[in-house]
């Protein structure tokens, strides 16, 4: 099992920490623990040993080289959509994929945040 989560958002980080704890109680093997930061602005944090600066693509590249059969992804809605597209593009077969958004959203309402449209 692989777990990837936004390390800068407490709700998402905590959500995936709970998933990891629950997996361990069920004796599931955690093969990848992949915290990441968004690629926008100055918060780019490429994952080690990756040939891309896109953190989501780096996660999929790590998945390609791992024996993980499932992915739990704790990111924003937009990141979850992008991750699904990348998994499809790389044709990475997984037995299970879980996308969680938690309580986190940058859009409280249209016009209230530069991220809202």
The three-state DSSP-derived secondary structure of the chain is CEEEEECCCHHHHHHHHHHHHHHHHCCCCCCEEEEECCCCCCCCCCCCCCCCCCHHHHHHHHHHCCCCCEEEEECCHHHHHHHHHHHHHHCCCCCEEEEECCCCCCCCCCCCCCCCC
Q: What is the pTM of this model?
A: 0.77
Whole-number mean pLDDT of the chain? 80
**Is 37 domain-assigned?**
yes
Give the residue numbers spanning the domain of 80: 9-100
Q: Give the pLDDT score at 69.
A: 92
Domain tally for the chain? 1
Band (pLDDT 50/70/90 cuts) for residue 107 is low
Let me know if residue 31 belongs to a domain.
yes
Is position 84 within any domain? Answer: yes
Tell me what percent of the residues of the chain surpass a pLDDT of 70.
Answer: 76
Q: Residue 116's pLDDT is what? A: 55
């Amino acid at each position: 099992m692989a777990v990837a989560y936004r390390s800068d958002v407490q709700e998402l980080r905590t959500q995936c920490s709970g998933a990891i704890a629950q997996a361990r109680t069920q004796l599931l093997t955690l093969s990848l623990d992949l915290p990441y930061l968004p690629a926008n602005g100055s918060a780019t944090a490429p994952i080690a040993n990756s040939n891309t600066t896109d953190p989501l693509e780096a996660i999929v590249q790590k998945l390609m080289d791992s024996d993980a059969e499932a992915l739990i992804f704790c990111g924003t809605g937009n990141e979850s959509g992008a991750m699904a597209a990348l998994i499809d593009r790389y044709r990475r077969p997984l037995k299970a994929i879980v996308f969680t958004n938690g309580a986190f959203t940058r859009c409280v309402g249209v016009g209230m945040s530069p991220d809202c449209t």
